Amino acid sequence: MSTLPTVVITGASTGIGAVYADRFARRGHDLILVARDLARLQALAERLRADYGVAAEPLQADLADPAQLAGLERLLRDDARIGVLVNNAGATLPGGFLEQTPEQTAQLIALNVTAPTRLAAAIAPRLAAAGSGAIVNLASVVGLAPEFGMSVYGATKAFVQYLSQSLQGEIGGKGVYVQAVLPAATRTEIWERSGRDVAQIPGVMEVDALVDAALAGFDRREAVTIPPLHDESLWQAADAARKAMLPHYSQSQPAPRYL
């Protein structure tokens, strides 16, 4: 049993979540690994136990299912061993807004928005009371880029980023670290799962490099970590421009350009 906080990682059966599991195990953390594919979770848990001597517990759950999500919420709320939540599970959708069905978009929102929100809400009060802990939320550069034409998916990622930055303000001062991680194209199954050939995409990052960079941001307690953005000043300028508008919103009269 590790003396470090236990880390819950959603979407741990493959991709970014599986590498997060390896890296936190390498750091000595016990793990709870969440996904739908139990066989993959069990294989990963067995390897991590063997390689690093940590406890690694597979937890099969479809986080788009409210009842199964509620089970993980209860665990996050009640298990004091858990000090880090990695909200990683997520998916994208094939096709464009006109082709996607209401059922598809509802399912995507359940996984990409409702699940990370409810899981963060489950753990945050306990972490805030303890004055420690961390919530890592996987957003995406797509959430900053309506130009990429991934409407609903991008909106879900913009939500995750906004939620993360808001929580930094609400619970950061209580000792809880909240990180938004914004990958760009990263070589995982997400592409194949949404019917796209990752080989046709330029500038794809390898998943180990992505997660190691995200953890470098985690270790620095960075609020928004964008591994693919080499020129940090671009993000700093964009965030500063956003903040510069804040005091201008309190107006009793519309802007002259609308009169």
Ligand X SMILES: N[C@@H](C=O)C(=O)O
Separation in Å, CA 42 to CA 32, 38, 73, 89, 98: 11, 6, 21, 17, 39
Minimal distance in Å, beta carbon 162 to ligand X? 16
Q: Which is nearer to ligand X, 121 or 209 (CB)?
A: 209
Nearest Cα to 100, choosing from 145, 152, 48, 57?
152
Nearest Cα to 100, choosing from 155, 151, 144?
151
The residue from 41, 142, 181, 224 that contacts ligand X (CB under 6 A) is 142
Active-site option among 52, 153, 177, 249: 153
Query: Which span (47-55, 62-70, 75-83, 97-105) binds ligand NDP, by CB under 6 A?
Result: 62-70
Check if the beta carbon of residue 224 is closer than 8 Å to that of residue 164: yes
* Cα atoms in the Cβ-side hemisphere of radius 13 Å centred on 153: 21
Query: Which span (44-52, 57-65, 95-103, 218-226) binds ligand NDP, by CB under 6 A?
Result: 57-65
Minimal distance in Å, beta carbon 82 to ligand NDP? 17
Minimal distance in Å, beta carbon 140 to ligand X? 3
The answer to whether residue 5 forms part of the interface with ligand NDP (CB under 6 A) is no
The answer to whether residue 72 forms part of the interface with ligand NDP (CB under 6 A) is no
CA distance 242 to 246: 7
Query: Which span (127-135, 166-174, 187-195, 241-249) binds ligand NDP, by CB under 6 A?
Result: 187-195
Separation in Å, CA 3 to CA 62, 141, 176: 29, 35, 19
Residues interacting with ligand X, by CB under 6 A?
92, 140, 142, 184-185, 190
